[in-house]
Amino acid sequence: MRGSITAAVAALALSLAAGASKADEHRGAREYKNSCQVCHGATGKGDGPFTEIMTVPIPDLTTIAHRNGGRFPIEEILKIIDGRVEIRGHGFPMPVWGTRFKAEAEDNLERWDVATELLVRSRILELAFYLHSIQE
């Protein structure tokens, strides 16, 4: 059951990505700059200022689709960004953005509820849309 729900969410994400507006790309770009650029670099090539202190290679995010046979694996990308579900070979020490986004949302909302989770998921989805837009 859970797999079919995840697949449905991934299918929805792909259909939304196809119709993502410039505003969505802008929010995703801003999220990338605030959350990812320090490691992955301004253009996503894996050359951010923290690369010198990292103990693992930082992947080039512009070649995700290329490394996956020309397909952008949206479901996998959403899980990796979220990080609240353990992914084998995820690449420590990448931050778990789902947990961080949730903590920020809880600070800004009065209680933990569906709205908080939707806010977290929308930030992750916007970031995934942005990563899709920078594929070579």
Separation CA 106–CA 93 (nearest Å): 24
* Rg of the chain taking only CA atoms, in angstroms: 15
CA distances from 107 to 103, 110, 114, 132 (A): 6, 8, 15, 29
> What is the pLDDT at residue 92?
58
pLDDT of residue 1: 43
Number of domains forming the structure of the chain:
1
Within 19-113, residue ranges assigned H as helices are 22-35, 37-40, 64-67, 74-82, 97-108
Q: Please report, for the domain that includes residue 16, its CATH number.
A: 1.10.760
pLDDT averaged over 10-residue windows placed end to end, the chain, 136 residues: 48 52 73 93 95 88 97 93 68 73 78 78 93 96
CA distances from residue 25 to 20, 78, 123 in whole angstroms, order as listed: 7, 16, 11
Cα(first)–Cα(last) distance of the chain, in Å? 35
Residue 20: the pLDDT is: 54
Q: What is the model's pLDDT at position 5?
A: 45
82: domain range? 2-133
What pLDDT score does 38 carry?
93
